Amino acid sequence: MTATDLPRNAGLPFDPAVVAEVRVNTSAVERRAATLPARRSLKKDHQAAWLARAVSMIDLTTLSGDDTPGRVRRLCAKALQPVRPDLLDAIGLPDLTTGAVCVYHEMVPTAVDAVQGRIPVAAVSTGFPAGLSPFHLRLREIEESVAAGATEIDIVISRRHVLTGDWQALYDETAQMRAACGTAHMKAILATGELGTLKNVARASMVTMMAGSDFIKTSTGKESVNATLPVSLIMMRAIRSFEAMSGFKVGYKPAGGVSKSKDAITYLALLKEELGDRWLRPDLFRFGASSLLGDIERQLEHHVTGRYSAGHRHPAG
Ligand SMILES: O=C[C@H](O)COP(=O)(O)O
């Protein structure tokens, strides 16, 4: 598990008033998100350091039907040494690893063996990505992933509970999943691209945090719309409200489609502005990404040598 000095989110009893009070000004959110990529709240001179920071917060992911132990071992090797040592030396950084690796349940033993406890192994459990397998089997899958050595579990919520407004059912389901995780940290994937409205994203964020999620995460990477800036703004503000209400800091994980260094920097700038510096650490922030690392390594090489090399020289897995 990632080192942290923070208490885990113990959750709060379900309170329908919290859901009823959620307000979202969609056009203001969209306007603010649209201005972000152009702004420079992270200084350009510090870009290499920010990119290295981003690497330390990647959940390096492979979630494909054709995953093999060989692919997962390569992914883990990359996660343990994500940036070439000569580049790291040149930017004056010591050791660097990604935040975690993220794999399907069946690949957990391979990943656990490959990372040798140096970084956490996260498993997507609970019938990922649709989350429509029988509920008792979803709980069982969590328990088996934890027994196999996963110390982080990325669960998927039942989108229908959001779409039908059954907030109590969403709370109960999430709380039972959190209990099944035991000491493993739980990231609740909202699949925001399937929730219809930003207001639903805000409400689902509050309910899954009340139910004890350690992180809230945007997407499986399999929806037609995955992480976006407006959704991130909404989820970060929900995290801020939840902290004000409960005293607990919950982590944030945008996932799916974040593949460029400049996008990663934009997310970090938003995070810094909305939640502050404490969130800029792997215990409170992760990128769920399969190809972002390759682009960051290219940018770091450019920073050091002034040249770009071909993307295939920096394979992500
Ligand atoms: O959680 C992680 C996502 O599945 C990765 O999505 P990506 O392949 O678009 O980076």
Question: Catalytic residue at 78?
Answer: no
Least confident of 94-103, 165-174, 215-224, 300-309: 300-309
Q: Find the catalytic residue in 78, 187, 249, 253.
A: 253
Domain 16-34+45-313: which CATH number of 3.20.20.70, 1.10.620.20, 3.40.50.2300, 3.90.400.10: 3.20.20.70
Q: What is the residue type of 74?
A: R
If you take atom 8 of ligand 1, which residue's CA is the nearest one? Answer: 290
Task: Answer whether residue 285 shows pLDDT above 60.
Answer: yes
Alpha carbon 128 to chain centroid distance? 15
Task: Answer whether residue 182 shows pLDDT above 80.
Answer: yes
Distance of CA 202 from the midpoint of ligand 1 (Å): 22
Q: Residues near 218 by Cβ (< 8 Å), separated by ≥ 6?
A: 189, 190, 191, 192, 226, 227, 228, 231, 232, 235, 253, 254, 255, 256, 288
pLDDT in the model for residue 2 = 79
pLDDT by residue (tens digit) across 119-175?
Answer: 999 999 999 999 999 999 999 999 999 999 999 999 999 999 999 999 999 999 999
Supply the DSSP string of 89-124, one letter for each residue.
Answer: HHTT------SEEEEEGGGHHHHHHHHTTSS-EEEE
User: Mean pLDDT over residues 224-228, rounded?
Assistant: 96
Average pLDDT, the chain: 94
Task: Answer whether residue 43 shows pLDDT above 80.
Answer: no
pLDDT in the model for residue 317 = 44
Q: Of all atoms in ligand 1, which is nearest to the CA of residue 259?
A: 10
Task: Answer whether residue 44 shows pLDDT above 80.
Answer: no
Task: Answer whether residue 245 shows pLDDT above 70.
Answer: yes
Determine whether the shortest distance from the Cβ of 290 to ligand 1 is under 6 A. yes
For 44, left (φ over 0), alpha (ψ -120 to 50), or beta?
Answer: alpha
pLDDT in the model for residue 306 = 86
User: Mean pLDDT over residues 260-267, rounded?
Assistant: 95
Q: Of all atoms in ligand 1, which is nearest to the CA of residue 291?
A: 10
Question: Catalytic residue at 214?
Answer: no
